[in-house]
Structure 1
Amino acid sequence: MINIDEPAHKQFRPAIFRLGFRPFFLFGSIFSVFALGLWAMTLSGKINFQPHGNPIWWHGHEMIFGFVSAIVVGFLLTAVQNWTGQPGLKGWPLIGLFTLWLLGRLVLLSSSLLPLSVAATIDLLFLPMASLVLFNSVYKVKQWRNLIFVPVLLLLTLMNLLSYLGSFTADIALMNTALYGAVIIITFIVALLGGRVIPFFTDRASDWQRTPSIPALEIATIVTLGMTLLAFFSGHELVLQITSALAGLVILIRWNRWGWKHTFKVPLLWSLHFSFIFIPIGLFLIAAGLPISVGLHSLTVGGMGGMILAMMARVSLGHTGRQLVPPKPVIFGFALMILATIARIVAGIVPSLYLPLIAAAVVFWCIAFGLFILFYAPMLMQPRADGRPG
């Protein structure tokens, strides 16, 4: 492993571009609040929002490929430095990748700004460029175990391309299926990373001792989620219900082995565990034959949004050289994300409460991420507290 430290006077300024998690965690969070606020005002009829595609497609697309993808890339660009010992992306190359992500968000905001073909081309470049950076770091040290994230990001790009093709051809089924597929792929990323970090964090911060992973369970997670992805494209509802049930069961068994009973006194732990649990819950809701949006929003709001908030809160503290104790208001944000997920699930089940529960879920999300932005922006924009690079 090479030495990735460097003298303080040689570290890039401003500090926010010293490592991938910094700009993507901060501005991804800001974008999520902006995008949800815009969606809520559109849904309530307060504004006439005309993005590319349509407001419904834009909402789903931007929460997946705008918000979640930014956080995933920020995390991977940071984690790959620890995995490989290779210096992480920083400085002007990081600014370039971040700018590409930001341009993708801006060009989709208005259908009159640029042709959809141009906007799609700009947006579609982000994930392949990020995967190239990851590939370069992994290839240098021949660390093939972590190469899996490269094809996964490229597969996510394919879902993005298919969603645009659906928009070009006015094929609503293709637009929706591509977004559903993207949710399952990101669920796979969260499940894979969760299996690495949640047991590790729990072992480090509680009296629980980690047990070795069971390879058969890890393989079963990949297989059953892959089957669920294919089931969405097959269009066979019964097949989708069966594969979702299998995937949910496997992931639930994995989660139950990660020491969740020992986490109640540690907010950075229970927030991870009780966000992750919405992944098997979401898959079981799909298996139960409820409207697809019910299960998908359990996956996206809880399994992704809640996990992202909890993970960012922990990773940002560790990688800025601070004690692993989140600000107390952010702990309140963890609870709000659980409430937001429950509200969004119930909204899809009880039509008479749809609008007020959607409004509640949006408010809870915006407060939770707003608290993260308020308390973590100074950490992300300033040098590490211990003076080290990154």
Structure 2
Amino acid sequence: MNRLFDRIFQTGAPVWLCPFRPFFLLTAAHGVLAMAAWIAFLSGLLPLPDVAGGAVVWHAHEMLFGFAMASIVGFLLTAVPEFTGLPSIPRRRLQVLVALWLGGRLAFTFSGALTAWPAALCDLALLLTLIASVAGPIWHQPDRRHVAFIYNLLALLAVHAGFYVALLGGHDPMPWLRLSIGVLMALIIVALSRISMRLVNDVLEAQGGESAPYLARPPRRNLAIFAIAAYSAGEFLLPGHAVAGWLALAAAAAIANLLNDWHVGRALCQRWVLIPYLGYVCMALGYALIGLGRLSGMEMTSAGEHLLVVGALGLAVLIVMAVAGRMHSGWGLDHRGWLPLGALLFVLAALARVGAGTPYAAAAATAGLQAAAMLWIVGWSLYLAYSLKPLSGPRPDDRGGCDEAAPVVEAATP
């Protein structure tokens, strides 16, 4: 235990070699601990937390701006230097960002006693520091091909600020959390379009070029993002209105159209292609559930939103962390069975949570919630078990910092 503590908390520890290392560890650990606490609250094993906005707001906020935000910070602070050819952020700033993230989680958990002000200051300072760290390098690129990340981060900042304004003003903050789901879905599309260009074409090349090179086509991607934004704005401005149902169906159709880029023959069956593909399937089905529920008069918004967060977001975070976390720590891609098993657990968790949120399963809702939570916890525990050493230990090669591993081999396993 002391060796693990020293490995993580010493200033020169390997965990500080690259921004994804501490933030990917925090993502998975938070996914386990926050969900375990939530189930303990629902089961009566722990008293409901005295938090600003109530326990449901705490749960939703921590999944979106705790779990998801940690993965976003780790990914962007690693990807942007790779995109732009500039050095990574200084280690001291990385430690400040980690402290802000941790401070936000603790402050929000104890916001009943502290008020929401400390959490707001930490969370918004985290986003502002992230934007300040990546906006300049992205904007000054000649082609500005990655500028969509800046727009997404500014949208997240505005939504998170709106959440805290509502919370501190005594208003319902849930519409802002629902709006943030749309921003995160758009960010997933932007991020996966970059990652998939590498992953899918690598698989196609390994299979002998059996299909045309894969392209993440901007028109389809932009249409899907526009449709998601239209639904999110419609639901925010006209909550419960039928027009939001039609817009949700339009978003589902646009995302299903985006899937046509992924139909590349046998390569679709490979884990590196199938996992993000299933994330898009969950995204399309989530918006379809919301739309059908709204237009049919059956309330399935919660079920659809959980399919978006547990399924689409969970799978997207998993594949990003499994690829970037291994490649940029020097180990190469991991071809062991834990990764497809983890993806399967998140798909099953999403389906169990959807079942618990539909009108037909009201009697078994508690069992569905518990099953979904346990599958989620096991999935991220699995990630931690297989990723702790690569993320917190030294590189196995002679490269430094965030350098990508040498050409992928299957033998590098910690």
Same-fold call, TM cutoff 0.5: yes
Instruction: Report the residue type matching 1:367 in the other structure.
Output: V
Query: 1:210 and 1:341 mapped to 2: Cα distance?
Result: 32
> For 1:268-320, what per-residue CA distance to the aligned partner results, in whole angstroms no more than 9, with x for missing partners?
33222212210111111111124211111111000001221122112212112
1:368/1:324 CA distance change after superposition, 3 Å: same
Query: 1:51 and 1:327 mapped to 2: Cα distance?
Result: 41
> 1:107 aligned to 2:107?
yes
Match 1:242 to one of 230, 243, 246 = 246
What residue is the counterpart of 2:317 in the other structure? Answer: 308
4+ runs of 1 displaced by more than 6 Å?
A: none
Is residue 320–residue 380 contact of structure 1 (8 Å, CA) maintained in 2? yes
Deviation of 1:193 after TM superposition, in Å, equals 1.6
Instruction: Report the residue type matching 1:224 in the other structure.
Output: A
Query: 2:346 and 2:228 mapped to 1: Cα distance?
Result: 24
What residue is the counterpart of 2:84 in the other structure? Answer: 84
Match 1:360 to one of 371, 374, 379 = 371
1:370/1:260 CA distance change after superposition, 3 Å: farther
Deviation of 1:74 after TM superposition, in Å, equals 0.9
1:112/1:214 CA distance change after superposition, 3 Å: closer
Query: 1:259 and 1:196 mapped to 2: Cα distance?
Result: 17
What residue is the counterpart of 1:5 in the other structure? Answer: none
TM alignment of 1:52-201, pairs within 5 A: 52-172=52-172, 175-201=173-199
Query: 1:84 and 1:352 mapped to 2: Cα distance?
Result: 53
What residue is the counterpart of 1:40 in the other structure? Answer: 39
TM alignment of 1:249-288, pairs within 5 A: 249-259=253-263, 261-263=265-267, 265-288=269-292
Is residue 260–residue 273 contact of structure 1 (8 Å, CA) maintained in 2? no
Query: 2:141 and 2:258 mapped to 1: Cα distance?
Result: 30
Query: 1:25 and 1:337 mapped to 2: Cα distance?
Result: 17
Query: 2:90 and 2:375 mapped to 1: Cα distance?
Result: 33
> For 1:43-70, what per-residue CA distance to the aligned partner results, in whole angstroms no more than 9, with x for missing partners?
1122112233311000000100011011
> For 1:63-107, what per-residue CA distance to the aligned partner results, in whole angstroms no more than 9, with x for missing partners?
000110110121111111111001122411111111111111111
Query: 1:176 and 1:193 mapped to 2: Cα distance?
Result: 26
Match 1:373 to one of 384, 390, 396 = 384
SS at match of 1:151: helix
TM alignment of 1:342-353, pairs within 5 A: 342-349=351-358, 350-353=361-364
Is residue 131–residue 149 contact of structure 1 (8 Å, CA) maintained in 2? no
What residue is the counterpart of 2:228 in the other structure? Answer: 225
Q: Which deviates the most, 114-123 or 311-320?
A: 114-123
Q: Which deviates the most, 55-64 or 204-213?
A: 204-213
1:263/1:335 CA distance change after superposition, 3 Å: farther
What residue is the counterpart of 1:7 in the other structure? Answer: none
SS at match of 2:212: coil
Deviation of 1:140 after TM superposition, in Å, equals 4.3
TM-score (norm: length of structure 2) = 0.86
Deviation of 1:15 after TM superposition, in Å, equals 1.5
Query: 2:119 and 2:160 mapped to 1: Cα distance?
Result: 12
Match 2:300 to one of 268, 286, 291 = 291
Which sections of structure 2, spanning at least 5 residues, go unmatched? 1-10, 294-298, 403-414
> For 1:15-40, what per-residue CA distance to the aligned partner results, in whole angstroms no more than 9, with x for missing partners?
21122211111111101111111111
1:246/1:47 CA distance change after superposition, 3 Å: same
Instruction: Report the residue type matching 1:250 in the other structure.
Output: A
Deviation of 1:256 after TM superposition, in Å, equals 2.4
SS at match of 2:342: helix
What residue is the counterpart of 2:5 in the other structure? Answer: none
What residue is the counterpart of 2:8 in the other structure? Answer: none
Give the aligned CA root-mean-square deviation in angstroms: 1.9
Q: Which deviates the most, 361-370 or 282-291?
A: 282-291
Instruction: Report the residue type matching 2:24 in the other structure.
Output: F
Instruction: Report the residue type matching 1:149 in the other structure.
Output: F
Is residue 148–residue 190 contact of structure 2 (8 Å, CA) maintained in 1? no
Q: Which deviates the most, 71-80 or 149-158?
A: 149-158
Q: Which deviates the most, 279-288 or 310-319?
A: 310-319
Which sections of structure 1, spanning at least 5 residues, go unmatched? 1-11
Instruction: Report the residue type matching 2:176 in the other structure.
Output: A
Q: Which deviates the most, 73-82 or 113-122?
A: 113-122
Q: Which deviates the most, 198-207 or 376-385?
A: 198-207
Is residue 197–residue 216 contact of structure 2 (8 Å, CA) maintained in 1? no
What residue is the counterpart of 1:3 in the other structure? Answer: none
Deviation of 1:214 after TM superposition, in Å, equals 3.7
Instruction: Report the residue type matching 1:18 in the other structure.
Output: L
Deviation of 1:362 after TM superposition, in Å, equals 0.6
| Aligned residue-pair number | 377
1:375/1:215 CA distance change after superposition, 3 Å: closer
Query: 1:111 and 1:222 mapped to 2: Cα distance?
Result: 34
Is residue 24–residue 98 contact of structure 1 (8 Å, CA) maintained in 2? yes
Q: Which deviates the most, 259-268 or 93-102?
A: 259-268
Query: 2:18 and 2:164 mapped to 1: Cα distance?
Result: 31
Is residue 105–residue 119 contact of structure 2 (8 Å, CA) maintained in 1? no
What residue is the counterpart of 1:209 in the other structure? Answer: 212
Deviation of 1:264 after TM superposition, in Å, equals 5.7
Is residue 268–residue 326 contact of structure 1 (8 Å, CA) maintained in 2? no
Is residue 215–residue 261 contact of structure 2 (8 Å, CA) maintained in 1? no
What residue is the counterpart of 2:398 in the other structure? Answer: 387
Deviation of 1:223 after TM superposition, in Å, equals 1.9
TM-score (norm: length of structure 1) = 0.91
